[in-house]
Structure 1
Amino acid sequence: MAGVRNLESLILTRHGESTGNLAHQAARDAPGDRIEEVDLCDRDADVPLSERGRLQAVALGRRLAALPPSERPTAVVSSPYVRSLDTARIALAELQDPPDLLVDERLRDREMGVLYRLTPHGVRVRYPEEAERSRRLGKFYYRPPGGESWADMLLRLRSAYLDIDLDHPGGRVLVVVHDAVVVLTRYIVEGLSERELMEIERTPIGNCSFTRWVRRDGVLRPAEYNDTAHLSEPAGAPAPTAAP
């Protein structure tokens, strides 16, 4: 990873299942214009974990606790969003001597701007010009009004990882984030092309999945990717995917 030369390993996990995930699933099953849910927060940052998501976070913590001492995280950094912070706190409670939990707002989920809580159908109905612009530009470069493209996210993620690397030389850092951040981190670490990224993105990132890069021969190399084997109830999550 360019600019990240000091970490011994980097572990990423997506937050546990959230009430927002459930609302998105319900919207896919019964298409409408908006993702409607009584408990879905007005701010994306405030969306909490579901009960299943909390159980997934416990399972993640037990996987971390089962690692050899030489592989356990020495630092933990989380997105400031509630679903990520709670995942981190629940998981760390399973460790005997957990490291401090740090928060970095640059690790937040993608900002969707005016399209927040709209279904794909809703975007086509309410903002047909944006739907066409998104189709033409593609996910990597399309920026919704008031929101971010994936390229925009990469700018802040590169900055965040540079600081994480400088702050934790020789460290093993766990980062608790969102599905897009996991995919884009792979783009950064492995130097992927846009085409390769879009192919990888076709497989959803499982809630509380385990992705890790380990330094070998002076370079962070993939060890696990999107592994959900530690979850006792992985229904709806993708099968573990071996790192290339």
Structure 2
Amino acid sequence: MHSPRPTIYFIRHGETDWNLEGRLQGQKDIPLNKLGRVQAEEAGRRLRSVCPHYEDLAYVASPMRRTRDTMEILRGTIGLPPQGYGVDERLIEITFGAWEGMTWKEVRRAEPQLAALRERDKWNYVPPGGGESYAMLVDRIRPVLDDLTRDTVIVAHGGVARAFLSLCCGISSRQAASMDIWQGRVLVLQDRKHRWV
């Protein structure tokens, strides 16, 4: 009999100008924009509404500026010390390699064959120039899950959320690769199920 995994309250970082322009950010350290900061506050309010014991949770963020700023704004919004959280390098976003900074439209124009290959199998496709596939990302994220000892707020990225959905909820790789990951909301991963708050 498996003991239940801790509940994860997953929050994607707020919007950046690159999100707005549809650019592939990956591991480029792009800051939040004005809307992104508002979304971080909103995520804090939603967390407080869904989890009354929010001050007892563990808090961990990806090391990128957009995730740390989201975490600090969120914590400040709910009355916790902004800096009181851990950083885990393994939560950094999937890298798109040579495609970072481009929009999908630009990728399809510049490298139509490679873009078509990725469309065929988003989960396993490795972008050129040192990119990462979702399958590789899952291998990077799995130990993070194994290390969790209590209910935890994780502030990270869209790609990382898709890896968590696959690992925690058994969502098929094809479905997980294309799921929308909302900003300003909380994705609750609990008992092999997921819900948005």
Q: Could you state the TM-score of these two structures normalised by the residue count of structure 1?
A: 0.70
Q: How does 1:1-244 map to 2 (within 5 A)?
A: 5=3, 7-24=5-22, 44-67=27-50, 69-70=52-53, 74-97=57-80, 100-136=84-120, 138-145=121-128, 146-163=130-147, 165=148, 169=149, 171-198=150-177, 201-202=178-179, 204-214=180-190, 220-222=191-193, 224-225=195-196, 227=197
Distance in 1 (CA, whole Å) between partners of 2:142 and 2:48 is 29
Asked whether the equivalents of residues 45 and 80 of structure 1 are also in contact (C-alpha less than 8 Å), the reply is no
Whichever residue aligns with residue 128 of structure 1, its letter is P
Task: Identify the structure with bigger relative contact order (alpha carbons < 8 Å, sequence gap 6+).
Answer: 2
Is the alpha carbon distance of 1:209 and 1:97 closer, same or farther for their aligned partners in structure 2, counting shifts above 3 Å?
Answer: closer
> CA offset at residue 209 of structure 1?
1.6
Distance in 1 (CA, whole Å) between partners of 2:65 and 2:142 is 22
Distance in 2 (CA, whole Å) between partners of 1:115 and 1:23 is 14
Identify, as 1 or 2, the structure richer in helix: 2
Q: Deviations over 1:41-64 (max 9, x none)?
A: 9x8442011111111111222233
Is the alpha carbon distance of 1:223 and 1:119 closer, same or farther for their aligned partners in structure 2, counting shifts above 3 Å?
Answer: closer
Asked whether the equivalents of residues 96 and 131 of structure 2 are also in contact (C-alpha less than 8 Å), the reply is yes
Unaligned runs of 5+ in 1: 25-34, 215-219, 228-244
Number of aligned residues: 194
Whichever residue aligns with residue 88 of structure 1, its letter is M
Is the alpha carbon distance of 1:101 and 1:71 closer, same or farther for their aligned partners in structure 2, counting shifts above 3 Å?
Answer: closer
> CA offset at residue 71 of structure 1?
5.3
Question: Rg larger in 1 or in 2?
Answer: 1
1:32 is matched with none
Q: Deviations over 1:206-234 (max 9, x none)?
A: 112211133xxxxx242523x3xxxxxxx
- RMSD across aligned C-alpha pairs, in angstroms? 2.6
SS in 2 for 1:11: strand
Q: Deviations over 1:100-125 (max 9, x none)?
A: 31111111111001111222332233
Asked whether the equivalents of residues 73 and 173 of structure 1 are also in contact (C-alpha less than 8 Å), the reply is no
Asked whether the equivalents of residues 169 and 189 of structure 2 are also in contact (C-alpha less than 8 Å), the reply is no
> CA offset at residue 192 of structure 1?
2.5
Unaligned runs of 5+ in 2: none
Asked whether the equivalents of residues 29 and 65 of structure 2 are also in contact (C-alpha less than 8 Å), the reply is yes
Is the alpha carbon distance of 1:87 and 1:5 closer, same or farther for their aligned partners in structure 2, counting shifts above 3 Å?
Answer: farther
Distance in 1 (CA, whole Å) between partners of 2:50 and 2:119 is 43
Distance in 2 (CA, whole Å) between partners of 1:141 and 1:152 is 8
SS in 1 for 2:60: strand
